[in-house]
Chain A
């Protein structure tokens, strides 16, 4: 039982560290991706026929 307890403690610590790092990386990178998303969608609308079947 004690071996399992140590194993799960290590898992929890590793998960917390990795999750913190990923949150920071994705948080910063995601911000520029949001700007690109709006730009890309507007570009697509521009390239396609805006009247379509609307």
Chain B
């Protein structure tokens, strides 16, 4: 039964009108904000002028985007209530960072604009350039599936069933994002993040109440019991996530996404002072928890709704139990559900809010990778020859080229695992090494540049966690006694990076720098 094509969306001409007006207004804000851009600091960190409320709104605006909503909902659909542990891990870790200032406070004190700039300050120009390259590659690869999430959301919500619709929507979306980001920079990002945060938070809260009202709490819980069993509630159950996955999530969507991931660090760098940084993290803990739990709940509601429509043997629920083993299908479930239960008008607002969120996430990330390539790869090599005008031109050029790559990757890469797992693995190429370099660089005087090179390079091992790579290496067929999952590969990479950096730093210390530091102390 092709449930996807059997359903007619509630999306109407009025909803299209709302979307168009909202998007035009968003682009207008970007153009307006462009007049405040006069140098790279304005473009990248909004002149370091963010205050607490706006910093929180913009951080949440970037982090609660369409992509997050899609992949979190997919996890709720695929794993039930047990997926909530990811939100708790993220929220508790973010609050811990806000209280202790772990990594972010010493990083802010250095006065750098990006993480690679810190690498350069601490370990020299070579590590800065190498670290920036690893970061940009991992980050752009990580973004590779964002467009697909946007395209699927729009087509499922609006009821487009043409096979080419996803690709056409992705092309239109990336064109809009590029126009907007290239024009505005960080000032426009923070303003639209703020507006988008207001709209999206309102919309998400309303949808939750509508969904429970529509389905009923009891039937939702019963569906999760029937489809997922104990593993749908207990995150430590080996039939579902299991302990290693929970630890992997605490590290990835807790520590890394708050303190290591460059877009979060950019907010740290843009904050006015250290007290704003800590305030930002304590408040953002709620958002970091919410951004997973609320969309995951929508995914669970989609599961209950689809089950009520088709039950076992339907498109989402094959004979023999469980859910369909197709990442594209499970990704589409939540917007398909929304297209059925939301009324005209509200569905348009949801689409507009989500699309604005999509743009907000994209512009933050595109800006981030472009700034890193220009400031941390080309800048140190070119030296003083790079004028402000040329830097801005290069940043905008790289934003455009990245956009083209994203479109090509989205169309051709076969997503064979849950999107959240793809993001964790591709991001790990950078953050496993970066975690070691930041942690030891900030807190251990004997950390050396040789150790930093090795730690950063070792992050490439995380690529093995991508499903097509695991399949190619026969890690998914149980030949080794059990499947080697992405969590085990990721955690091994983290441990290896830290260990290698310690060992290599002890074997090859930075003699000159160490002496200079000791002298200064």
Interface residues of A (CB under 8 A from B): 1, 4-5, 8-9, 11-12, 15-16, 18-20, 22-23, 25-30, 32-34, 36-38, 40-42, 44-45, 50, 52-54
Q: Please determine whether A5 and B286 come into contact, CB atoms closer than 8 angstroms.
A: no
- The 8 Å CB contact of B36, one of A1, A26, A38, A52, is A38
Mark contacts of B286-314 with chain A using CB atoms, 8 A cut-off: 1 yes-contact digit, 0 otherwise. 11011001100100000000000000000
Contact between A5 and B81, CB atoms less than 8 A apart: yes
In this complex, which of B53, B82, B293 has the most chain A Cβ atoms within 10 angstroms of its Cβ? B53
Q: What is the bound-complex CA distance between A44 and B208, given in angstroms? A: 43
Inter-chain contact A30/B208, CB cutoff 8 Å: no
Give Cα A12 to B87, complex, Å.
11
Give A37 to B46 CA distance when docked, in angstroms. Answer: 8
Q: B81: which of A8, A44, A50 is its contact (CB, 8 Å)?
A: A8
A13 vs chain B, min Cβ distance (A): 10
The 8 closest A-B pairs by CB, nearest first: A29-B53, A33-B54, A4-B233, A23-B201, A40-B49, A8-B81, A30-B53, A33-B51
Q: A16-B205, A22-B286 in contact; A34/B38 too (CB < 8 A)?
A: no
A-B contact count (CB 8 A): 116
A interface, over-half SS: helix
For the complex, count residues of B whose C-beta is within 8 A of A. Answer: 49
In contact, B57 and A30 (Cβ under 8 angstroms): yes
A52-B388 in contact given A23-B202, A37-B46 (Cβ < 8 Å): yes
Bound Cα distance A36, B254 (Å) = 31
Contact across chains for A37 and B286 when beta carbons are under 8 A apart: no
A30 to B174 Cα, complex, angstroms = 28
* CB <8 Å contact, A30 and B205: no
The distance in angstroms between the C-alpha atoms of A1 and B82, with both chains bound, is 11
14 contacts between A and B (CB under 8 A): A15-B290, A19-B290, A19-B294, A22-B287, A23-B197, A26-B56, A28-B53, A37-B46, A50-B38, A52-B39, A53-B387, A54-B387, A54-B388, A54-B389
